[in-house]
Amino acid sequence: MDWALLAESATNGGLVGLMYSLVAMGIVLIYKSSSVPNLAQGSMTMLGAYVVLAFANNAKAPIWLAIMLAIVTMFGVGMAIERVALRRLAGRPIIMILMMTLGLEILLRAGAMTIWGGTGRPMPLGISDDPLFLGSMLINRTYAVGAAVAIVMFGLFMLFFRTRMGVVLRAISDDYTAAWSVGISVERGVALSWAMSAVVATVAGVLWASVQGVDQSLAQLLLKGVTVAVLGGLDSLGGALLAGMLLGIVEGVSASFLDPVLGGASRDLVDAAMLMLTIMLRPHGLYGRHDIERI
Amino acid sequence: MPNSNTSAAAKILSLNNIEVVYDHVSLAIKGVSIEVPEGGMVALLGANGAGKSTTLKSISGLLVAERGEVRRGELQFLGRSISLLSPQQRVKLGIAHVLEGRRVFEHLTPDENLVAASAVRSRHDMNRNKERVYGYFPRLHERRGVASGYLSGGEQQMLAIGRALMTQPKLLMLDEPSLGLAPFLVAEIFQIIGRINREEGLSVLLVEQNAVAALEIVSHGYLIESGRIVMHDTAEALKRNPDIREFYLGGAKAKSFHDIKHYSRRKRWLT
């Protein structure tokens, strides 16, 4: 057993996992405030990265400003998605809303292909490629930054859900009709959750793009996001954070040790196993809420 | 038969010939007219499926959540027509609807339930309103940190009423607050509703199957059957009415199904 390799791949895996958490958090945000599982989170992440590039390359904005502008833009995009695609579906069966988000996913991916083409572009964040040395372990700097950002975002959202607006969003996710009955603007609340989710998607998009470049394959992060969100419990931000780390560690370790045997498929196999086992053994995930039943 | 005193007093709410259809086809209420005097307490009585909840939803605007719509009739609140307003706008005007089955936000604590419903912006005003609710329902204060899904039925009903009070209503509409509660709890909750009505001048429209309890606290009552108002009188007169005694207050001797059918037909004739 190569302990040094184990430690290194577990650490890097954990950091990558926290970057998965960023994608998952977007899914959780929407689910937590409207009980809709968003299948477009991956392509929103991709779109966020493209919008940053559009501001940086076409408008020649410095990268930090481009990110700020993209965050504002994507906030609007999130609101618009709710207004145009989802508002009219309020109160319809969840399966129809789910299919609508799948349609959005395809639309955004195809739209990005149409506008920006299929070639990969770099995301010049200016994070050095040199590894960090932690004892004898080599740590990827981008992963470290991504993980830190994920933890900061997590903290911000935790604080948000304690504010009055946050309580209102949780109320909406509990019971639409009851929320209406006390004068809560359900539509505005759901729109806000989509906007916040689009913002976190932008952040995730930028970080992931600096790892793998900007192209449509960023949308495939949906699979990681869904796996992590389900494992964490769909409506638990803390669960998403922990589940991301867990998935990342298992993935990282298995990639280091099993890839030679499995021909490079071990990450995906781990994802599939995690997702399916969670649903079979623990459908509410690590920290998901159970529906309260009084006895 | 309708009491002329009610129409003379200032009305906070009046329904004139309201007709509601669900899904464009099924007619749920067929020309319901009701008036609630300002500061008054009125009951809408009737059996299961008679159209009581639908009537309330037509007033609060919550029909939209169930693909229902008011197809005909006039809805007036404080002298202005509200037919075209959204549920939020109606709440803002002062209409609070406590839903059947309580429907508290189960995963939120009672305190958060009150916060979510709070109509006022300033934290100071919100806390004052919360104190007021806790004043009426001290038990909610004791349980304020527990997830509301774990409260007892009575506590949830108190929370649902308290939550509605956070919107600072002028009219409180209650849909079957006695449902599934022990008689002593029903008495307690009705007594508090009466107190709120007296102390704050809040008008109340109470929908009930439990006519005995309801007629104790209201001044007037309407009786609805198959989507139509079939009777309207003072609470005292309704309590004395032989038909009401028999069918809604659990009165005297048992009758055959034929008599009941006859009764229904006669009632329809009378309207």
Partners of B224 in the β-ladder: B229
Q: How confident is the model at residue B261, as a pLDDT?
A: 63
**Cα-to-chain-centroid distance, residue B79:** 20
- pLDDT for residue A87 is more than 80: yes
Centre a 10 Å sphere on the Cβ of residue B84 and count the other Cβ atoms it contains. Answer: 9
How many angstroms separate the CA atoms of A267 and A24, rounded?
A: 17
**Cα-to-chain-centroid distance, residue B200:** 17
Q: How confident is the model at residue B49, as a pLDDT?
A: 85
Share of chain B above pLDDT 90, in %: 75
Across the interface, which of A171, A289, A293 has its CB nearest the CB of B116?
A171
CB-side neighbour CA atoms (13 Å) of A247: 36
Confidence of residue A291 (pLDDT cuts 50, 70, 90): low
Residues in chain B closer than 8 A to A176 (CB atoms): 65
Q: How confident is the model at residue B82, as a pLDDT?
A: 95
Nearest-Cα residue of chain B relative to residue A171? B105
DSSP letters of A173-190? Answer: HH-HHHHHHTT--HHHHH
Name the nearest CA neighbour of A27 among A186, A167, A176, A237. Answer: A237
Name the nearest CA neighbour of A77 among A124, A112, A37, A126. Answer: A112
Q: Given CB atoms, is A89 within the 8 Å cutoff of chain B?
A: no
Name the nearest CA neighbour of B75 among B92, B91, B88, B56. Answer: B56
How many angstroms separate the CA atoms of B174 and B164, rounded?
A: 10
Q: How confident is the model at residue B4, as a pLDDT?
A: 44
Q: How confident is the model at residue A130, as a pLDDT?
A: 85
Centre a 10 Å sphere on the Cβ of residue A118 and count the other Cβ atoms it contains. Answer: 9
Contact in structure between B73 and B19 (CB atoms under 8 Å): yes
Partners of B162 in the β-ladder: none
pTM for the complete prediction?
Answer: 0.86
Q: How confident is the model at residue B2, as a pLDDT?
A: 46
Partners of B148 in the β-ladder: none
Q: Is B98 helix (H, G, I), strand (E, B) or coil?
A: strand
Q: How confident is the model at residue B260, as a pLDDT?
A: 60
Mutate to test the interface with B, among A33, A177, A181 (most CBs of B within 10 A): A181
pLDDT tens, residue by residue, A22-53: 999 999 999 988 888 999 999 999 999 999 99
How many angstroms separate the CA atoms of A215 and A217, rounded?
A: 5
Chain A from 43 to 72: CB within 8 A of any B CB: none
Q: Pseudo-torsion of CA B231, B232, B237, B240, nearest 10°?
A: 20
Q: Given CB atoms, is A284 within the 8 Å cutoff of chain B?
A: no
Instruction: Tell me whether residues A182 and B96 touch, CB distance under 8 A.
Output: yes
Indicate the range of A41-55, A117-131, B70-84, B186-200 predicted with least confidence: A117-131
- pLDDT for residue B220 is more than 60: yes
Nearest-Cα residue of chain B relative to residue A292? B149
Q: How confident is the model at residue B231, as a pLDDT?
A: 92
Q: How confident is the model at residue B257, as a pLDDT?
A: 62
ipTM, two decimals, is: 0.86
How many angstroms separate the CA atoms of B161 and B173, rounded?
A: 9
Mean pLDDT of chain A: 92
Rounded mean pLDDT, A157-167: 94
How many angstroms separate the CA atoms of A39 and A223, rounded?
A: 9
pLDDT tens, residue by residue, B19-34: 999 988 888 999 999 9
Residues in chain A closer than 8 A to B164 (CB atoms): 181-182
- pLDDT for residue A118 is more than 90: no
pLDDT tens, residue by residue, B40-87: 999 999 988 899 999 999 999 999 878 888 999 999 999 999 999 999
DSSP letters of B224-236? Answer: EETTEEEEEEEHH
Instruction: Tell me whether residues A183 and B167 touch, CB distance under 8 A.
Output: yes
Centre a 10 Å sphere on the Cβ of residue B150 and count the other Cβ atoms it contains. Answer: 15
Q: Is B51 helix (H, G, I), strand (E, B) or coil?
A: coil
Label residue B263 exposed, middle or buried (CB < 10 Å: 0-12, 13-18, 19+).
Answer: middle
State the count of interchain CB pairs (< 8 A) between A and B.
85
Instruction: Tell me whether residues B88 and A167 touch, CB distance under 8 A.
Output: no
Confidence of residue B99 (pLDDT cuts 50, 70, 90): very high
Chain A from 174 to 233: CB within 8 A of any B CB: 174-185
Name the nearest CA neighbour of A107 among A81, A133, A129, A87. Answer: A81
Q: How confident is the model at residue B242, as a pLDDT?
A: 83
Q: How do strand B80-81 and strand B68-77 relate by DSSP bridges? A: antiparallel
